[in-house]
């Protein structure tokens, strides 16, 4: 486990109480250790302050010292960081035999990892999908033993700058993490794909899960069972879980009758937005700056940028099969015992599919382009209008995540009809992760689908 940073939570809430001898009760202090969060003391408010990113945060607090039994959460208050922001207060129950160890709200969730003092509490703060920063106040204890932590969570810049119009969207679990653009590259361009080496049962530190996917924890593992999401699932036991044996599983799955019957991908989402200018493509691929830079360079090379007034960006995602592993049993995932450092997270499932991203330069208005692209079929007059526009398109369905580049609307039409060739299954577009210690789901960049 990471070295814990010891923090002394000083409670400057001066609640005066007169004893039978007319003497003031002493002001008690609360102490706790904190992992995964940097705090600073504010002498004016008597609270500890911290900053967390828009995508959310995970941190742990452990009570200690003489009054450690008071280090439990009694309320969480959330409000927009605006002058007229309204408070939303969530009253929480102290831990106990009849109280759930996990308590959730719009702000995220807390989980009591211990139900007796000193309490060990894991906080998972949800992403801020609003257009303004938000303040989250966490209140501990009661009576003369009260402490506060104030967290300022930044706004989601990409949500503000790119206003997507969802032409089609199918439901996706909040546990699914979208990774469909993070590792993409473009064939024959100075932007190679960087496909992560992930497979069900692969274990990574929480800090690298669904981001770099590096620092994998290795070791001999107990057997696992894998299954697909077909109506008639393809299942197999992997006696020695590894990337090599997972690839063998996928090849056997491709040759199965179950795959032949149900391998057709379905449209997951299709959305459009007014890009404003080619340079704003960086806000579409904020998780993949290399791809953003390459895409922008291609736009300037393949189109006469000065010729067009309006720019439209589009994203199309097809979803295919999902491979899931059963949760580890009492014996754990690793033969020699599970990892007890760096908050390990294992890959629970992988969903495969295909993606297309495109930018259109035009002198037509955004709404007119949107109407054209959502027509079931294109007439001659529509094709005539499209001939006066410019298209830059990348499509990806390969496991190496090397996208194909095109400037043809026929390529876009072909992708919509056949996202990937028969017998293929695409590349990872979603994954889920679970904490190794309790099998609870890991949440990172959760997207909203409208």
Q: Return per-residue pLDDT of the chain as tens, 450 residues.
A: 443 444 433 333 333 333 343 455 666 667 888 998 988 888 777 788 888 887 788 999 999 888 899 999 999 998 886 555 567 888 888 877 777 788 888 788 899 999 888 999 999 998 887 767 889 999 999 888 888 899 988 776 554 468 899 999 999 898 999 999 999 999 989 898 989 999 999 999 988 999 889 899 999 999 999 999 999 999 999 999 999 999 999 999 999 988 888 878 999 999 999 998 898 898 899 889 899 999 999 999 999 998 999 999 999 999 999 999 999 988 899 999 878 777 899 999 999 999 999 999 999 999 999 999 987 666 667 778 888 999 999 999 999 999 999 999 999 999 999 998 777 899 999 999 999 989 999 986 444 333
- Per-residue model confidence (pLDDT) at position 379: 67
Dihedral over Cα of 421, 404, 315, 323: its sign: positive
- Per-residue model confidence (pLDDT) at position 349: 98
Say how many C-beta atoms besides its own lie within 10 A of residue 447's C-beta.
13
Phi, psi of 107 (to 5 degrees): -75, -15
- Per-residue model confidence (pLDDT) at position 233: 93
Residue with tokens 């894998």: 226
- Rounded Cα–Cα distance for residues 260 and 320 (Å): 13
The answer to whether residues 271 and 169 touch, using CB atoms and an 8 Å cutoff, is yes
* DSSP letter (8 states) at residue 173: -
Q: What is the DSSP string of 14-51?
A: ----B-TTS-BPPPP-EEEEEES---EEETTTTEEEEE
- Rounded Cα–Cα distance for residues 272 and 368 (Å): 12
Token pair for 246: 């997972």
- Strands 47-52, 145-153: parallel, antiparallel or unpaired by DSSP? parallel
Residues with Cβ < 8 Å from 154, sequence gap 6 or more? Answer: 51, 52, 53, 54, 128, 133
- Per-residue model confidence (pLDDT) at position 82: 58
Token pair for 118: 């000193």
Q: Domain extents for the chain?
A: 5-153, 162-450
- Per-residue model confidence (pLDDT) at position 200: 98
Token pair for 416: 């919509």
- Per-residue model confidence (pLDDT) at position 378: 61
- Per-residue model confidence (pLDDT) at position 347: 98
Phi, psi of 290 (to 5 degrees): -60, -45
């Amino acid at each position: 486990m990471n070295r814990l940073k010891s923090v002394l939570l000083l409670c400057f809430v001066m609640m005066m109480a007169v004893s039978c001898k007319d003497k003031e009760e002493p002001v008690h202090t609360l102490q706790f250790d904190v992992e995964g969060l940097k705090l600073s003391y504010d002498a004016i408010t008597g609270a500890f302050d911290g900053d967390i990113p828009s995508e959310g945060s995970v941190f742990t607090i452990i009570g200690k010292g003489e009054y450690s039994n008071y280090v439990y959460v009694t309320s969480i208050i959330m409000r927009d960081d605006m002058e007229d922001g309204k408070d939303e207060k969530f009253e929480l129950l102290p831990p106990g035999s009849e109280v759930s160890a996990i308590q959730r709200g719009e702000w995220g969730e807390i989980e009591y990892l211990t139900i007796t003092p000193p309490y060990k509490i894991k906080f998972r703060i949800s992403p801020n999908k609003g257009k303004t920063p938000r303040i989250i106040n966490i209140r501990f204890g009661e009576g003369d033993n009260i402490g506060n932590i104030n967290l300022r969570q930044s706004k989601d810049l990409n949500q503000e700058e790119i206003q997507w119009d969802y032409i089609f969207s199918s439901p996706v679990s909040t546990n699914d993490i979208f990774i469909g653009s993070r590792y993409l590259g473009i064939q024959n361009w100075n932007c190679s794909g960087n496909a992560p080496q992930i497979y069900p049962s692969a274990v990574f530190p929480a800090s690298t899960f669904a981001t770099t996917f590096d620092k994998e924890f290795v070791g001999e593992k107990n057997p696992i069972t894998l299954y697909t999401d077909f109506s008639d699932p393809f299942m197999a036991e992997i006696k020695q879980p590894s990337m090599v044996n997972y690839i063998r599983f996928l090849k056997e799955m491709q040759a199965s009758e179950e795959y032949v019957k149900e391998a057709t991908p379905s449209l997951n989402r299709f959305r459009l937005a007014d890009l404003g200018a080619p340079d704003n493509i960086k806000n579409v691929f904020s998780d993949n700056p290399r791809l953003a830079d390459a895409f922008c360079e291609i736009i300037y090379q393949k189109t006469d940028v000065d010729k067009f007034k309006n720019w439209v960006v589009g994203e199309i995602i097809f979803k295919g099969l999902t491979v899931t592993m059963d949760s580890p049993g009492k014996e754990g995932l690793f033969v020699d015992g599970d990892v007890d450092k760096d908050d390990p997270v294992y890959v629970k499932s992988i969903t495969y599919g295909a993606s297309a991203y495109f930018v259109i330069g035009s002198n037509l208005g955004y709404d007119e382009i949107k109407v054209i692209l959502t027509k079931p079929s294109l007439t001659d007059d529509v094709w005539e209008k499209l001939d006066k526009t410019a298209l830059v398109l990348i499509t990806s369905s390969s496991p190496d995540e090397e996208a194909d580049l095109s400037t043809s609307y026929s390529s876009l039409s072909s992708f919509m009809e056949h996202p990937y060739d028969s017998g293929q299954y695409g590349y990872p577009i979603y994954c889920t992760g679970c904490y190794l210690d309790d099998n609870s789901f890991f949440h990172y960049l959760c997207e909203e689908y409208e």
